[in-house]
Amino acid sequence: MVLFVGGVGGAKLAYGMAQLLPPERLTVIVNIGDDFWHLGLRICPDSDTVMYTLAGMVDPVNGWGLAEDSTRMLDSLRRLGGESWFRLGDLDVATHLHRSHLLRTGVRQTEITAGLCRSLRVNHPLLPVSDGEIPTIVDTAEFGELAFQEYFVRHRWQPTLRGLRFQNAQQSAITPEVEAALASADAIVFAPSNPWLSIAPMLAVGDLRDRLLSLDVPRIAVTPILGGQAVKGPAAKLMGELGLTVSAEAVADYYGQLLNGFIDDVRNPLFKRDGLRISQFDTLMTDDTARVRLSRDILNALESWME
């Protein structure tokens, strides 16, 4: 299985799947549109969130960053008048320092991520969708275009979204490792990550969308909308600003022909689409047990679809 993920929500499903599938059966492909350079450091929020979650090291309160981390460095930076709007934990900085150093010596991000995962004993393959830099740019009504983290963290995703673009995406390519994972995949799953901010940046890379469409395997998405709301983050707000109804049905419509299956939540009203197999489960992942339960439900649904 190939699982496409963004940050916190995707990491939870990746964790659940990793408890049920061995490393040779599960490859996690992660969004890089959130990645950016900050204070000389290459920071990859989604990749690190998934890695820390799979390693059992993630901050259980925030769902990102390292558990029991501190911010003494950031506090000192603030006293010096430095930029402190992006939270950098003292332990987390080591990841950014190590990655940035290796990137400057010419090591590919895929290789760096693999090395970090080995060091943290993460056995399942975690692949950046590309080795290129493909930053998400958010067009807002109040400030015009903003770099993604300026929109998401500095302005706490409050500016009104007018559009998105994924810089360099069409000129970039998926990695050989991603290409190989897709070639051997028996199912494609889009995690309940934000379709516009986490999944779309990956689908914009090179010919990835066409490659996925050519795969004769189950291609399913898990709804990020439960009962007319997003569990966390700006998905519902963003859908309203794009003129969409905040519903799982609208999410399925957004993915369109990429999907032949959809995992909906039991809290949502039933809907039907020609050519789309829909299953409803409790998709709220409040703890590790719920993550594994949802993963098992998805795997059972996939197995029944392939019979």
Q: What pLDDT is recorded for position 141?
A: 96
| Interval 242-247 mean pLDDT | 94
| Interval 200-209 mean pLDDT | 97
Q: How far apart are CA 177 and CA 141, in angstroms?
A: 38
Q: What pLDDT is recorded for position 307?
A: 73
233: pLDDT confidence band, cut at 50, 70 and 90? Answer: confident
| Interval 6-17 mean pLDDT | 96
Q: What pLDDT is recorded for position 232?
A: 83
Q: What pLDDT is recorded for position 305?
A: 84
Tell me the percentage of the chain whose pLDDT exceeds 70.
Answer: 100
Read off the pLDDT of residues 24-46 as tens digits, 9 standing for 90 and up. Answer: 999 999 999 999 999 999 999 99
Q: What pLDDT is recorded for position 33?
A: 97
Q: Please report the DSSP string for the chain in residue order.
A: -EEEE-SHHHHHHHHHHHHHS-GGG-EEEE--TT-EEETTEEE-HHHHHHHHHHTT-B-TTTSSSBTT---HHHHHHHHTT---SS---TTHHHHHHHHHHHHHTT--HHHHHHHHHHHTT--S-EEES-SS---EEEEETTTEEEEHHIIIIITTT-SPEEEEEETTTTT----HHHHHHHHT-S-EEE-SS-IIIIIHHHHTSTTHHHHHHT--S-EEEE-SEETTEESSSSHHHHHHHTT--SSHHHHHHHHGGG-SEEEEETTSPP--BTTBEEEEE-----SHHHHHHHHHHHHHHHHHHH-
Read off the pLDDT of residues 128-148 as tens digits, 9 standing for 90 and up. Answer: 999 999 999 999 999 999 999
Read off the pLDDT of residues 177-189 as tens digits, 9 standing for 90 and up. Answer: 999 999 999 999 9
171: pLDDT confidence band, cut at 50, 70 and 90? Answer: very high
Tell me the percentage of the chain whose pLDDT exceeds 90.
Answer: 96
231: pLDDT confidence band, cut at 50, 70 and 90? Answer: confident
Six-digit token string for 138: 């958010």
Q: What pLDDT is recorded for position 221?
A: 98
> Is residue 306 pLDDT above 80, yes or no?
no
Nearest to 92 by CA among 115, 111, 68: 68
Read off the pLDDT of residues 59-82 as tens digits, 9 standing for 90 and up. Answer: 999 999 999 999 999 999 999 999
> Is residue 159 pLDDT above 90, yes or no?
yes
Six-digit token string for 223: 């709804």
